[in-house]
Amino acid sequence: MKTKLDNNNVIPASILRRYGQYLRLEKAFSANTLDAYLRDLQKLVDYYEREGIDFREVTLEQLDQFAATLLDRSISHKTIARVLAGVRSFYHFLFLEKEIGQDPTELLASPSRGLYLPQVLSLDEIDQIEQSIDQSKDEGIRDHAIIETLYSCGLRVSELCNLRFSDLFLEEGYIHVKGKGQKDRLIPISESAIDELRRWFVVRQRVNIKPGEEDYVFVSILRGRHLSRITVFHNIKQYAQAAGIGKEISPHTFRHSFATHLLERGANLRGVQAMLGHESISTTEIYLHLDRQHLKEEILTCHPRNIKRKS
């Protein structure tokens, strides 16, 4: 059976062949079940390629983030449970084959347990990350604008990388995004993000843009081509580490933070759904759980009975 996995750049073909034999011979999987497991594994491989993750070094937090990205794509809980079962199977095989020293999926939660809510940054943490950027450099001005745009508009990283000047309506205060399934949406953009974009445009005028790349908003200073998702992921990781943020951070974290902060401040759930481009309201409702968790922590911290007990 030929799949995209045969040509991936993440997991060696020899390991995939042995895994297929393990499922077919030791687990006695039918051809259809084997095909389903390998298709689901492709989702994990795609995620690793986007985020620049070594499959042998992946952490539980990164696997939780992978599960959260499946939720964000409006994939059902049942399908996510099946995908995660395949991920556990693959890592159990790697552990048995001594390809890894520890199985990172031992504590990987299934959807029914509801334990893999997406990671969210506080406003102070976002400010700390932005303050860690050296804006005396051209790349720093660009990356500051990238983080402001991600957080201000709740964009997926692919939407940010594909953002074009023809999508910007800054005087009117909104941007146009073509999201999953080529669906269009209009998103309001904050004044602070507009200011950062305009600072970047001054720098961008000095960049030698390659033919065909002229309309992309965010480009490489050196190569003159639009940025890849892996570059954005890598840069954000570096800034988060420099800021001393211990959480597992990715470009998607700013999207999760955008939605959570809006709901915490009383935004309409349907409005947030429209801005995020979710097909199903149930996907957006995960942020209500985050909001409730935040409220629970606030109550436990501030309730006079708890304060008295601590004192």
We report the CATH number of the domain holding residue 73 as 1.10.150.130
Is 24 an annotated catalytic residue? no
pLDDT tens, 21-73?
999 898 888 888 888 899 889 999 999 988 889 999 999 888 988 888 887 67
Is 183 an annotated catalytic residue? no
pLDDT tens, 184-235?
899 999 999 999 999 999 999 999 999 999 999 999 999 999 998 889 999 9
pLDDT, position 150: 95
Whether residues 141 and 290 share a domain: the answer is yes
In a domain, 210, yes or no: yes
Q: Above 50 in pLDDT, residue 115?
A: no
Set 39, 82, 180, 185: catalytic member: 180
Whether residues 139 and 176 share a domain: the answer is yes
Last-in-domain residue among 113, 141, 164 = 113
Set 156, 226, 256, 261: catalytic member: 156
Whether residues 223 and 101 share a domain: the answer is no
Whether residues 78 and 130 share a domain: the answer is no
Average pLDDT over residues 123-136: 95
Last-in-domain residue among 113, 148, 175 = 113
Whether residues 161 and 22 share a domain: the answer is no
Q: Whole-prediction pTM value? A: 0.61
Contact of 284 with 274, CB cutoff 8 Å: no
Contact of 101 with 217, CB cutoff 8 Å: no
Contact of 61 with 105, CB cutoff 8 Å: no
The Cα 282–Cα 72 span in angstroms is 10
The single residue listed with the structure tokens 């991600």 is: 150
Structural domain of 153 = 123-299
Average pLDDT over residues 126-151: 96
Is 144 an annotated catalytic residue? no
pLDDT confidence bin for 308, thresholds 50/70/90 = very low
Encoded amino acid at 188, one letter: P
The Cα 103–Cα 90 span in angstroms is 10
